[in-house]
């Protein structure tokens, strides 16, 4: 926690640069400094890069939970954010590919199939509905904050836009022909790692204790 406080005290440009440099260095190590076999092990589903991404997202979950506890006015918003971040971390950990998770449970065919038990359909459908409702509520609560935050160039919004850009790049790479080669696969995994870093910075710089009498907004960290 002490190291996290030291990181939080850095300037916003320094924090963004830290994430970008970490990604570039990691990409260089994986694709140039080690053999391809070692590099493939590093970016594998159970490799170091994937584990690091999960750990970073777990830090974001803890920061958001801390903010929800400290600020009653933002408790609902940050609580929903915690829920979505847990799902995000589970996705990056490939939990949806676990043996106990029904295959293709997010597709319409799953719910139309006569081979799938009704109880399984209800459980999976309820989970997806809860995730969708949480996402909608977060968007509804976040949208009114965006115009003023953008005009003021508030760090949390800038970091969230950086996350969106890097995450989109990782997904575009995943669907492109570049993903066939090792370098493209490494870029996708490392871009997702960088995106997780921007998630932490977004939560870290999100102002809490807003609206309290005489209270000064602080960051969630």
Write the pLDDT tens digit of every residue in 27-77. 999 999 999 999 999 999 889 999 999 999 999 999 999 999 999 999 999
Name the DSSP letter for residue 94.
T
Confidence of residue 217 (pLDDT cuts 50, 70, 90): low
Number of Cβ atoms within 10 Å of the Cβ of 17: 12
H/E segment holding residue 218:
strand 218-219
Write the pLDDT tens digit of every residue in 167-210. 999 999 999 989 899 999 999 999 999 999 999 999 999 988 65
Instruction: Name the H helices within 29-154.
Output: 36-42, 48-70, 75-92, 108-112, 118-142, 146-151
Write the pLDDT tens digit of every residue in 76-104. 999 999 999 999 999 888 887 777 788 88
């Amino acid at each position: 926690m002490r190291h996290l406080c030291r990181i939080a005290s850095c300037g916003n440009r320094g924090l963004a640069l830290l994430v970008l440099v970490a990604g570039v260095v990691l990409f260089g190590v994986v694709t140039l400094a080690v053999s391809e076999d070692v590099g493939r092990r590093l970016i594998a589903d159970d490799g170091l890069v994937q584990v690091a991404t999960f750990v970073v997202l777990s830090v974001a979950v803890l920061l958001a939970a801390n903010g929800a506890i400290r600020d009653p006015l933002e408790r609902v918003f940050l609580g929903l954010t915690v829920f979505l971040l847990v799902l995000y971390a589970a996705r990056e950990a490939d939990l949806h590919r676990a043996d106990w998770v029904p295959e293709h449970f997010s597709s319409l065919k799953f719910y139309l199939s006569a081979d799938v038990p009704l109880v399984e359909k209800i459980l999976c459908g309820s989970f997806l509905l809860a995730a969708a409702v949480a996402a909608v509520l977060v968007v509804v609560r976040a949208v009114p904050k965006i115009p003023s935050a953008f005009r003021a160039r508030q760090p949390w919004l800038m970091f969230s836009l950086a996350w969106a850009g890097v995450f989109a790049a990782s997904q575009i790479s995943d669907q492109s022909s570049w993903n066939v080669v090792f370098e493209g696969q490494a870029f996708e995994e490392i871009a997702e790692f960088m995106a997780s870093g921007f998630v932490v910075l977004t939560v870290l710089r999100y102002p809490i204790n807003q609206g309290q009498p005489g209270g000064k907004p602080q960051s969630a960290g």
